[in-house]
Every structure is written in C-alpha cells, then in structure tokens.
C-alpha cells in the first residue's frame, strides 16, 4: 500500500490531519512561550527603550525604500489574514492610543515635520496619486455627486432663483 492510498482512507486522512493540527498548535504554543520568556521579552523591551523616543522619520536610516515597501506589504498581508481576530482589534486600538498620546495635541501642520514630512512631500504624493483618485471618482459617479452636493445649495438659493426668474 502506498502512502497516498493510506491517507486517502477517511480514517487515516482524518488522523493525519488531526495530528498535523495538534503538532501545529503545540509548535505555536511553544513559540508563544519563547516570546514570553524573559530573555526574549527583555531584549525586545531593551530594543524598544533604545528607540522609543526617536522620531519615526529616523527609520529612513534603517530601511531602504524597498525595505519599507516590503514591510508595508507584510503588514498589509498580516492585517488582511488576521482582520477578523480579536488580537488585531486590540493591537490597532493600542496603536491608535499610542499615536494619540504622542500626537493628540499636535495640529496637522505641526505633526507633519515631526514625522519627517515636508510640504513638498505632501504635494508630491497628491500629484502622484491625485489623478488616479479623481479618475476613479469620475468612473464611480462619486465626483459628480460631490460637485452636485457642493453646488446645489448655491443654485437652489433664493437669490439665484430670483435672478433666474427675472431672466
């Protein structure tokens, strides 16, 4: 009997699947314990203490543009695959709390330089992504609705209606 035929049996296939799940759970549990273990935790906290007060813009010294893109894609993949998990909600809540604790009293104008962004950076990003956003808004009818919502109060005002009535 071949290994393939043996696992095609419902009983053996189920047992193999349960065994793999059990092994994966045990491995995951062991990894969690290692991460909670004092040396790893202490090292992580020491690293945090060294860099906690550095401006975010300082990350440019550690990461190339490609590294940053890879990191963002990795974070996106983690978020997409774990978005229904409770721990992600807690993590996002904590990130927002830390961000607001640090920048909550800043105006947007004061925060941007703190993050290492200049007016030229913002203009560059708007020019880079703006046309695609506007085209998508046109295609979806969102742009027409936004324009209509902005202009409708003017065209429906008593003053404009009076001017149009006398014409």
For 81-138, write each residue's pLDDT tens digit.
877 877 777 878 888 888 888 888 888 888 888 888 888 888 898 899 999 999 999 9
On the question of pLDDT at 35 being above 60, the answer is no
- 7: pLDDT confidence band, cut at 50, 70 and 90? very low
Whole-number Å distance between alpha carbons of 58 and 115: 9
pLDDT given for residue 148 in this prediction = 92
- Over residues 18-39, the mean pLDDT reads 64
> For the chain, what percent of residues have pLDDT higher than 70?
71
Q: Is the pLDDT of residue 139 over 90?
A: yes
Neighbours of 24 (CB within 10 A): 10
The pTM of the full predicted model, rounded to 2 decimals, is 0.35
Match 């429906």 to its residue by tokens: 156
């Amino acid at each position: 009997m071949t290994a393939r035929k043996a696992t095609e049996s419902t009983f053996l296939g189920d047992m193999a699947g349960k065994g793999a799940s059990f092994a994966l759970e045990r491995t995951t549990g062991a990894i969690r314990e290692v991460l909670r273990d004092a040396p790893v935790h202490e090292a992580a906290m020491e690293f945090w203490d060294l860099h906690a007060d550095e401006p975010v813009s300082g990350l440019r010294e550690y990461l190339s543009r490609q590294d940053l893109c890879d990191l963002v894609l990795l974070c996106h993949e983690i978020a997409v695959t774990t978005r229904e998990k409770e721990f992600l909600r807690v993590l996002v809540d904590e990130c927002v709390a830390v961000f607001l604790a640090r920048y909550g009293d800043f105006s947007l104008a004061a925060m941007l330089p703190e993050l290492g962004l200049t007016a030229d950076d913002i203009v560059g990003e708007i020019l880079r992504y703006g046309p695609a956003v506007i085209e998508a808004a046109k295609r979806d009818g969102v742009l027409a609705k936004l324009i209509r919502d902005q202009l409708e109060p003017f065209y429906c005002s008593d003053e404009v209606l009076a001017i149009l009535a006398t014409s």
